[in-house]
Structure 1
């Protein structure tokens, strides 16, 4: 009988806290979707880590999960039996620990990849600047990139999250696919009535309701949020800016709001529950998302924001270029050009008809990339490779 087990090795670890298992919430939701769609068993292989390595996690009882959870070590060859009944293995191409996968199992391997070498090097420079440590780490990344490309060339397929990863690696395999990751199910997508209610607000000429959500860190460009707001204020553009999230820059951002005298227009909320608070607020009271991401990783932020009927104005990193190619869903400016980003916002404030068109386009384009739809495409891709 042909094996029908899907083996998945996420890049995130698991953590044991006493007799309880702490897992990444996003990973669990994705694995649940695999289990619902795959015609057989799903086995998840995770390495042990520390709870602090899991930014958004929760405690789970493995017995209650619809997939098998198995702890493995760093070396794949030390996990006998993990792949014996695999129809296909979905491995983390971003983790150098999984690059040996095509060499340790006869089952077809499909790698998932999100980060390009350019993005890895950019993040390294943003985190550590020009230093000896940066040089050493860059050399290590270059060696791992050689290993990565070799592994991909031996794999049966590739699932690339976002346009930059697809463009960088799709030629290495005969079965590549591109997808845009999101955790927004169809039921949460903005409705046509909600879109039109937002359009009415925009066309009424009221101050633009801007928002940012995500990690408040330099590589996300969070240090530019208040300077952008200050530039808007100087230009006389009426606006409010709500900032949601947490990170190392949160305190400095709040302090800079006070120093700039922007307390009446800029509000720093901290992290809020995604489903219960952030999504409803985005759908009801946000006209435009300010995205200062410097790096080109395929953030879920793009599609999830559009799913709320919110277009994006942001820096033209490689990932956002791939998003704007999908339709009239946003405006991009050169990275780190604060005044240019503020000018783009002012342009839309003065052209409300264009902004209304972008709101409708964001909602329309995102419907093709729902949580369920993306996972159905990915499972279909795996089934074709596994021939099950």
Structure 2
């Protein structure tokens, strides 16, 4: 190992290669930069590559302006053997389990979803009873390797409450963090929502238009409210495979805003147009949109599962209903419409939580954890 401590970050998503330009997802590159700001040495990023770039929400960076070294198309354990880092951080996924065999004392995993959450996500995409049976059997078969890899690793960084509550007991050095990209200055400038008492609650939905994000629940909610005689409106942010279906199903009061650049357009639009964010995500993954809404003083109405329930129950930052229950969503919105001060109170609670979890503070805590593991 070199005298200068090296942090190896293993990415699962590809980096676009276009001549001397490298393309990164904006959320990914912003996170890499925050790691670079906090780590007291050299950073190497290992990732698969893809040809070209230029996605609407991607960022192009000249290769000679990167704040880290980039190692492309290497198996994670091969990259670790080549770089000889003080510590390596990688997503907890089967493709990366070999890292704990390379050197478990220098391997830290990022855990996004526990086994139960992974099963739920995969089942949501199954189309037949046979597919669901095969998925369940596959999860059960992979469980021993899942648990063994966490136990062997030097530490685990759990993104959100679901993975933390399910699997922190397996790790010798677990930490809880909340992954988002809202800096403290944006949180400090936010105020809790103050809905008009003369107009209906302005609803929002934000997320990819795919089954596991539940956009159809949002559309059905508006239809249910209007069937009850309420003048409901909703702005839907995002895009995806279900967009044509959502466009066909969206009735009066639904505005499809599309996928907006986060800082430049999404933040000001949500501040201007949303009193309550409806995030009916049926799966319990650690969605950053919960946090991003909280950071703007906007409370959330969501489904009751391991990822969201603690925000509603323990922090008072929103409300939960049973997964898939459109009528319960509508009941809650109807109640809040009669008592809009509840939205302001929950928005205040949401901001109180986020003031302790600004993006730069979360990354500083993650770097401190890695330094503790590496003893640097």
TM-score in terms of structure 2 length: 0.92
Residue 296 of structure 1 aligns to a residue in which SS? coil
Gapped regions of structure 1 (runs ≥ 5): none
Q: Say if 1:190 and 1:283, in contact at 8 Å, map to a contact too.
A: no
1:263-302 mapped onto 2 (5 Å cutoff): 265-302=253-290
Change (3 A) 1:368 1:326: farther
Q: Say if 1:89 and 1:107, in contact at 8 Å, map to a contact too.
A: no
Change (3 A) 1:77 1:255: closer
Partner of 2:374: 386
| In structure 1, C-alpha distance between the alignment counterparts of 2:256 and 2:22, rounded to whole Å | 33
| In structure 1, C-alpha distance between the alignment counterparts of 2:155 and 2:249, rounded to whole Å | 48
Aligned-pair CA distance for 1:299? 0.4
1:140-289 mapped onto 2 (5 Å cutoff): 140-189=138-187, 191=189, 194-195=191-192, 198-199=193-194, 202=195, 204-258=197-251, 262=252, 265-289=253-277
Q: Say if 1:152 and 1:158, in contact at 8 Å, map to a contact too.
A: yes
Change (3 A) 1:309 1:33: same
Partner of 1:335: 323
Change (3 A) 1:40 1:78: closer
Q: Say if 1:117 and 1:145, in contact at 8 Å, map to a contact too.
A: yes
Q: Say if 1:185 and 1:370, in contact at 8 Å, map to a contact too.
A: yes
Q: Give me the CA root mean square deviation.
A: 2.2
| In structure 2, C-alpha distance between the alignment counterparts of 1:48 and 1:297, rounded to whole Å | 26
Aligned-pair CA distance for 1:231? 1.1
Aligned-pair CA distance for 1:269? 1.8
Change (3 A) 1:227 1:190: farther
Residues 266-313 of structure 1: CA deviation (Å, up to 9, x unaligned):
111222221111101212331100111000000000111100110001
| In structure 1, C-alpha distance between the alignment counterparts of 2:52 and 2:96, rounded to whole Å | 21
| In structure 1, C-alpha distance between the alignment counterparts of 2:106 and 2:242, rounded to whole Å | 43
Partner of 1:41: 42
Q: Say if 2:275 and 2:298, in contact at 8 Å, map to a contact too.
A: yes
| In structure 2, C-alpha distance between the alignment counterparts of 1:281 and 1:293, rounded to whole Å | 21
Change (3 A) 1:174 1:81: closer
Residue 319 of structure 1 aligns to a residue in which SS? coil
| In structure 2, C-alpha distance between the alignment counterparts of 1:157 and 1:328, rounded to whole Å | 30
1:347-386 mapped onto 2 (5 Å cutoff): 347-386=335-374
| In structure 2, C-alpha distance between the alignment counterparts of 1:249 and 1:57, rounded to whole Å | 21
Q: Say if 2:205 and 2:236, in contact at 8 Å, map to a contact too.
A: yes
Q: Say if 1:62 and 1:68, in contact at 8 Å, map to a contact too.
A: no
| In structure 2, C-alpha distance between the alignment counterparts of 1:350 and 1:376, rounded to whole Å | 42
Partner of 1:65: 66
Q: Say if 1:35 and 1:42, in contact at 8 Å, map to a contact too.
A: yes
Q: Say if 1:244 and 1:271, in contact at 8 Å, map to a contact too.
A: yes
Q: Say if 2:16 and 2:24, in contact at 8 Å, map to a contact too.
A: yes
Aligned-pair CA distance for 1:29? 0.9
Q: State the aligned residue count.
A: 374
Aligned-pair CA distance for 1:99? 0.7
Residues 226-279 of structure 1: CA deviation (Å, up to 9, x unaligned):
210011112233332111110112112121124xxx1xx211122222111110
Partner of 1:12: 13
Q: Say if 1:189 and 1:367, in contact at 8 Å, map to a contact too.
A: yes
Residue 309 of structure 1 aligns to a residue in which SS? coil
Change (3 A) 1:80 1:387: closer
Change (3 A) 1:29 1:88: same
Q: Say if 2:104 and 2:153, in contact at 8 Å, map to a contact too.
A: no
Structure 1 residue runs of 4 or more that deviate by more than 6 Å after TM superposition: none
